[in-house]
Structures are given as C-alpha cells and as structure tokens.
Amino acid sequence: MSPEYRELIVQISYLIATVLFIFSLKWMNTPKTARRGVVSGVWAMTIGVGGTIIGPTIAVESLPWIALAVIVGGIIGIPLSRVPLTAVPQRTALSHAFGGLAAALVGTAKYYLWLDGELTTFRTFALSAEVLLGGLTFTGSLMAAGKLQEIIPTRPITYRGQNIINFIILGAAIGCGIALIINPEWSFLFPILLVLSLAFGIMLVLPIGGADMPTVIALLNSYAGLSAVAMGFVLENKLLVIAGALDGASGLILSIIMCKAMNRSFRNVLFGAFGKVSTADVAGEQKPVKSATPRDAADMMEQAERVVIIPGYGMAVAQAQHRVRELYDQLTKREISVKFAIHPVAGRMPGHMNVLLAEADIPYEDLVEMDEINRDMAQVDVVLVIGANDVVNPAAKTNPNSPIYGMPVIDADKARAVLAVKRSMNPGFAGIENELYTLEKTLMVFGDAKAVVGDMAKALSGEGGGAH
C-alpha cells in the first residue's frame, strides 16, 4: 500500500472519528441516549487509533511496542473499570491523571528528541504548554482522587500565604516556559518546568474541600483536554487537537454550570478553601431534633399524595439506590406521585445521583432538576431526604453569615413534612449545621440509608420494619 493511499485512509478515519466524537457528546446530554453516546465515543477512539497505526508515519518496528502498550494498558484499565458506582468520581479523576501523565511524558520525550536543532518557537511553545498542563493535571487529579477516596483528608488543608506561594510556583513555571521559547536550547530549564508543574497540581487541589470536588473534577477534565490539544500540535495530529478541544470545552462548560449551581466563582472555588470545617459551627450548641422509625416514616408517606425524594452522597455511600427503587415501587403501587429532586452538585461528581438512580432503573421522567421541582415544593406532602445535606440547607437562603449563603438549594423546607435519613447529626462538607433538620416539621430517621430505606419499603409491603 502506497504512502499516499495510507495517508488518505488516515484522513478519512480522522473525519469519521471527529463526527462520532461530536455525536458522542451530543448523545450523552440525556440518559435516554447516553449509552449510544458512550458507544459512539468508543468507536471514535478505536477508528482514530486504528487510522493512526495504519498511517505512513508509524514504522513497522514500532508495532510490537504499540501492542505491548495496549496490553499493559488493558491490564491496568480493566480492573480499574470494575469499581462500584460510589467510586466513579475518583475513578474519573484517575483517568484525568493518566491523560495528564501521557501528555507530560510525550512532551518531555519530544523536547529531548528535537533538542538537536528541530525545536522551533512554535514547537517549544506547544511543548511548554503541554508539559505544564499535563503535569498539573496529573498531580492535581491524583490529589482529587485521594480526597475522594479519603486517603487524603477531604477538608481543605491551608496555611498562611498559601495563595501567594501557589502563584509564585505557577509564575515560575510560566517563566521557565517563556525562557525556553526565547531560547529552546536552555535545556536545564525543562526539568524545572516539569517539576514546578507537578508541584503546582498538588498545591492547587490541597486547599480545596470535598464540597468543591464536582467542580474540581470538571475543571481538571478541561485541563486534560487542553493538554491534549497542545500534544496534538506537537505531534501534528488533527484528530488529537479536535478531540482535546472538545474535551477541554465540555469540561470548562461543565465547570461553569457547577459554579453557577453553587453561586460561586472560579476564583472562590480554587482559592476560597470552601468546605473548611468551622469549629464554632460544629462544636456549638446542638438544637433538639425529633426522630422517627422507618415504620413511622412509611406510614407518613403512605398517607401522602405527593412525595419527593432528594438523594445525596449518603445514598451513594450506603449503595441504597436499589432499596430506593423498592420504596418507589411500593409508593407508586398506591398511586402516590413520586419524584426525585436532583441538585446539580449532589454527590461527588456531576450527574452522580442520576447515574445511581439509573442503575436502579428509576424512570428518567421522574428525575426532576432543582429549578423545576422548587416551583412545586409547597404542594408536596412529604419530602424524603436520603443522605443529602448542604444542598437542602435553608441557611443558603436565610443566613448571610453562612459559607453557603447564595448557593441555590432544593426548597425541602417548603414541603408540608420532611423525613431525613442520616447516620448521625454530623455536618456535611460545608461543615455547618443544617437548619432543615431542626425544623418542627422534620423527623430524623437515623441509620444506614440502605437498611433504613429497605425497612420503609418492607413496612409498606406489609413485611414489617423495625426501628433503628
């Protein structure tokens, strides 16, 4: 096969892959077509990689190394794909870390390969951007995964002058990149650039609390995409540039949506140390709460006409989504209207609750976004809060001194009655008391969400349901 014919095949495969990547993002906008979107993305990547291997730039002697890389990647990737849904956020962060590491390694290799006279100004610019973005994405994503897995404390880790030090590290890294662009042969600066980028990734995520992890994951996704764009320019690969741009843009848009959902700015997310537990808030005088048994809760919902369930991270930790489906079935059998109120930042990543509920085959039409459900909350008979905390805290609307003041929340306090399932009265990631739980209309049902909701479903089915 002639090189010209092989190049034509490459360009056609890149065109097909580009179209499939675009459709993949489009189809993943809704759960109804999300599976089609995933399949489209897989085929796009397969066709893109296949076309690249066929291309004239790939030497035959490189094929065994490519095959070895695929095998090693499969050995690592297949076990990582088999994680519970509760671990999907940290699994996603690890994917970003691998993408950033790949970009940093390719950039480093290309710099030293081109050091003998092949480094142009543009190539050095692209290499510097690739290594800087790839390095900070790698270590930043590892930090995010560590916080989500609670290997690293989820609370913000701060110290005096932290932001100044962070800016100095970032400024020094950018300075090294500019110096290399001016004189690409100052090779002693390249390892410094790499080390500074890795250090900045750690320092960037260190002061960010668990409450901001959904936004951080989306932002790191954007960084990974931008590093892929830079890598595409380095390798002169059009598909890599396009795929990276799509990834970077979608991550940035998602970050903006997350910030809007929390009424926060990027500056506040990255440098505000939101989620830092206030000792005064936690150790202050505890207001009295009223508790109930799962049977009491089941009796209340059985008498209702409209029930709204608000899932949170507690449901994910307890893996209670299938028990929630059983409860849903029991209520709908009684012709009780049941809807699920979904807050954009509930859980540890965007769409976390949607994924969990989809696994339990909850009908998509019964999942309602926050803005829409809030309009009808005053007509709801019973709200069942399962493991959610800050996203239902009325302090966001009423207390100007609260760290979450101004954050849009689900108006659970407007319902006629509130049931809240929690293990204890410990605060959420914002580290503040939830005023919803001390309202006169609220009953707390303490215990593991999976066991408690299961007992509610059993009580409705007539099998009983003990107190916890």
For the annotated catalytic residues, the residue numbers are 390
Token pair of 465 as six digits: 């349901």
Token pair of 423 as six digits: 């293990």
**Adjacency order of strands within the sheet including 417-422:** 367-369, 337-342, 306-311, 382-386, 417-422, 442-446
Estimate to the nearest angstrom the gap between the alpha carbon of 152 and the chain centroid: 17
Q: Which of 155, 192, 160 is nearest to 173 (CA)?
A: 192
Burial of 5 (0-12, 13-18, 19+ CB in 10 A): exposed
Q: At what angle do helices 121-148 and 213-235 cross, to 10 degrees?
A: 150
160 dihedral zone (left: phi>0; alpha: psi -120 to 50; beta):
beta
